[in-house]
Structure 1
Amino acid sequence: MKQLRIFIRKEFAHVLRDRKTLLILFGMPVVQILIFGFALTNEVKNSKILVVDHARDIASQQLVAQIEASRYFEIEKTAWNQQQIERGFHEGQIKMAIVIPVNFGQELMHQNDVQVQLIADASDPNLATTLINYASSVIQDYQLQVNETTKIPYRIIPETRMLYNPQLKGAHNFVPGVMALVLMLVCVMMTAVSIVKEKEAGTMEILLVSPFKPILVILSKAIPYLLLSLVNVTSILLLSVFLLDLPVHGSIVLLFAESTLFIITCLSLGIFISVKTDSQQTAMLISLMGMLLPTILFSGFMFPIENMPVPLQILTNIIPAKWYYIIVKSIMIKGLGIASIWKETLILAGITVFLLVISIKSFKIRLA
């Protein structure tokens, strides 16, 4: 244990002396959290929605059929009460709910206007706004069709409601994404490069023939980056709360516990890369390009996963950042607990164990 503390202290000293490393560790999170002030607006299609048809008359069925025929929406299921709607949003099964009131057809024909409620998950404000606009457009098209066959003009008034983010602030979307991006890049790249550096310098052979166990060599490299990454998480949360006015609605303890799990996942990936590479340049290239693009493209941070072809949607399941992004949004924005994110937590834990087992089996006690 004393030897482990000595190696960890040595690694801390090495990191703190390197200004470039410190700039990447602490400069990148601050810069990204400040410059990612807006999100991209993308076309949305095949988004899963929930329809609550309280009327179940001919007019409401025609409206539901028109919504279902649209390429923008995919009706996941129907519900009959508010609890089912809330559960659908909490579990991330749906992006929007459409509530058709009782006596929809009668009110439309006799009172000439009726309200339809549109409820969207505004933790991603751009997606929520787009879905509301698409649904309003479909309802307006149905209204025009009805008016073509009647002499009296009828009006269907959409009543919108944005859950979790009524003001549609962009920070609710990009802060969880930046957290996943920063931790993935910092942990994977720094761990991989620091271990490969020992190989290139020839000091890894000395460490392996010393009484110090090889697994402790790896741990001494990973632990400093675990602690420094937790500092990054703290700095991002402080900037979010005090600068971007984005409070944490869920448990801080749970958020840090899940962040620690994700950091360990990223460290495991960095160790795996370091085991498979022999030069810092290769390790950095794989870590930077191999992690940056998948995190941006396949985590749901910038581009809705529902828009992607099915093979790519399947591919996103092996991206750790996707699951962490869902976890952070659920805790920070929706205020949910472990009961709502236990599946994502298990998936991250499984990826971590898999990477560690593969890395340990591939780790060479003797270097060629």
Structure 2
Amino acid sequence: MSQFNAFVQKEFYHIFRDKRTLLIILGMPIVQMLLFGFAMNMEVTHIRTAVFDPSPDQSTTQITRRIEANPYFDVVGQVHSEEEVNNLMRQGAIDLAVIYESGFHRNIVHSGEAQIQFIADASDPNRGTVATNYVTGILAGYQQEMMQLQTIPFHINPETRMLYNPQMESAYLFVPGIMGLILMIICTMMTSVSIVREQEQGTMEVLLASPLKPVTVLMAKTIPYTVLSAINVASILLLSFFVLNVPIRGNFLLLLFVCLLYILLSLTLGLLISTLVKKQLDAVLVSGIGLMMPTLVLSGMIFPIGNMPLVLQWSSYFVPARWFITAVRKIMIEGQGIMTVLPEIGILLGMTVFLAVLSILNTKKRLA
């Protein structure tokens, strides 16, 4: 029995001596519980809403006030034309538009019927469906109360339009997210593990002793992975278009450019990781496990960022996949042009340059 206890103590010593194993065993569950506990909120809130009321009257004013008072809606203001509604939808500035017909109250009094239209951004099918359900419930509550106060029956006919995803296919939401996750993990892991393996085997010193500059050697090692990642992009797009029936409504070349930029960013991040770790296992842990959780939780591919606590919302600004997924949705699903995705392109480009500079500085420091 004493020998058995000695072996158990030995294993505890090994675990406590290995900081990485201890971090995975004790730290990872805590991080996962905190992230999923706060981020995994499927409730739809902060629905940005615009109202187009061509002839304001007592009925439209009361309905609008009920929407404004509802905690699930953020009314961004009144618009003055349906064209303005379409522009706001294209820019991604609103999630829902409420459009009253002209003479809304007059039509209720004279004919007993009135028309109202709800236009929702359904590129996220869950958010679009829930938003229209919420506002339809508000309208039904108003109509029921008014029917109890008036002796003349009337009916409000709501018309619902789901933009960008009228079939409410979930693949429209998940395909951009899957692209962001796959490219981030594969590109980063391939690059970091490849370079660290060269360092462990001692062949990296031979390469760096060649007439080529260290930066040139590192760039040359990333080119094959860029080509392989481009093949991954092509296969994902082909499967999404022909098998999952996800359309590519925007400019195809613009979509490829955004994908290539994101690939370069991921490869550059892999280079940076390779300058910070010394073993292949460390590279796998950092590039695989370390990046998968933020990409899954904080990129908006599954959980709405607007529902998260402010700390997690701010943290999501540093997750490259957030900007890539947003840009791909705008191009593929919404058919937006380059002017709409310029902010995302600028952020991805800035991150790539920043990571490249850090990688070069760390490489020189390591060789010094």
Distance 1:365 1:272 in 2: 12
Distance 1:179 1:74 in 2: 31
Larger mean CA deviation between 209-218 and 323-332 belongs to 209-218
Q: Residue 116 and residue 49 in structure 1: after superposition, are their counterparts in 2 closer, same or farther (change >3 A)?
A: same
Amino acid in structure 2 at the alignment position of 1:119: I
Q: 1:135 aligns to what?
A: 135
CA contact under 8 A between 1:123 and 1:173: conserved in structure 2? yes
Q: 1:44 aligns to what?
A: 44
CA contact under 8 A between 1:47 and 1:306: conserved in structure 2? no
Q: 1:205 aligns to what?
A: 205
Q: Give the SS at the match of 2:361.
A: helix
Cα deviation digits, residues 49-106 of structure 1 (max 9, x gap):
2111223112211111111111211112321112211111111111111112222222
Distance 2:46 2:196 in 1: 44
Q: 2:237 aligns to what?
A: 237
Distance 1:143 1:187 in 2: 55
Q: Residue 326 and residue 214 in structure 1: after superposition, are their counterparts in 2 closer, same or farther (change >3 A)?
A: same
CA contact under 8 A between 1:187 and 1:266: conserved in structure 2? yes
Amino acid in structure 2 at the alignment position of 1:217: V
Q: 1:221 aligns to what?
A: 221
Distance 1:290 1:252 in 2: 32
Q: 1:274 aligns to what?
A: 274
Q: Give the SS at the match of 1:300.
A: coil
Distance 2:292 2:109 in 1: 55
Q: 1:316 aligns to what?
A: 316
Q: 2:151 aligns to what?
A: 151
Q: 2:357 aligns to what?
A: 357
Amino acid in structure 2 at the alignment position of 1:149: L
CA contact under 8 A between 1:53 and 1:80: conserved in structure 2? yes
Q: 1:96 aligns to what?
A: 96
Q: 1:168 aligns to what?
A: 168
Over the aligned positions, Cα root-mean-square deviation in angstroms equals 1.8
Cα deviation digits, residues 139-174 of structure 1 (max 9, x gap):
112222222322334322220001111111122111
Cα deviation digits, residues 192-240 of structure 1 (max 9, x gap):
1111112222222222223231112211221111111110111011111
Q: 2:57 aligns to what?
A: 57
Amino acid in structure 2 at the alignment position of 1:326: T
Q: Give the SS at the match of 1:61.
A: helix
Distance 1:109 1:197 in 2: 78
Amino acid in structure 2 at the alignment position of 1:247: P
Q: Residue 292 and residue 366 in structure 1: after superposition, are their counterparts in 2 closer, same or farther (change >3 A)?
A: closer
Q: What stretches of structure 2 of length at least 5 have no aligned partner?
A: 1-39
Distance 1:54 1:303 in 2: 36
Distance 2:229 2:117 in 1: 43
Larger mean CA deviation between 62-71 and 198-207 belongs to 198-207
Q: Give the SS at the match of 2:107.
A: helix
Q: What stretches of structure 1 of length at least 5 have no aligned partner?
A: 1-39
- Matched positions, count: 329
Amino acid in structure 2 at the alignment position of 1:317: Y
Q: Residue 196 and residue 245 in structure 1: after superposition, are their counterparts in 2 closer, same or farther (change >3 A)?
A: same
Distance 2:107 2:347 in 1: 48
Q: 1:334 aligns to what?
A: 334
Q: 1:12 aligns to what?
A: none
Which aligned pairs between 1:78-89 and structure 2 lie closer than 5 A? 78-89=78-89
Cα deviation digits, residues 306-330 of structure 1 (max 9, x gap):
1112232222222111111111111
Q: 2:114 aligns to what?
A: 114
CA contact under 8 A between 1:51 and 1:79: conserved in structure 2? yes
Distance 1:109 1:192 in 2: 71
Amino acid in structure 2 at the alignment position of 1:194: S
CA contact under 8 A between 2:48 and 2:94: conserved in structure 1? yes
Distance 1:308 1:246 in 2: 28
Q: Residue 226 and residue 161 in structure 1: after superposition, are their counterparts in 2 closer, same or farther (change >3 A)?
A: same
Q: Give the SS at the match of 2:331.
A: helix
CA contact under 8 A between 1:187 and 1:267: conserved in structure 2? yes
Amino acid in structure 1 at the alignment position of 2:131: L
CA contact under 8 A between 2:275 and 2:366: conserved in structure 1? no
Distance 1:41 1:351 in 2: 28
CA contact under 8 A between 2:98 and 2:118: conserved in structure 1? yes
| TM-score calculated relative to the size of structure 1 | 0.85
Distance 1:286 1:366 in 2: 19
CA contact under 8 A between 2:41 and 2:304: conserved in structure 1? no
Q: Give the SS at the match of 1:77.
A: strand
**Aligned-pair distance for 1:352?**
0.7
**Aligned-pair distance for 1:367?**
5.1
Distance 2:112 2:41 in 1: 35
Q: 1:123 aligns to what?
A: 123
| TM-score calculated relative to the size of structure 2 | 0.85
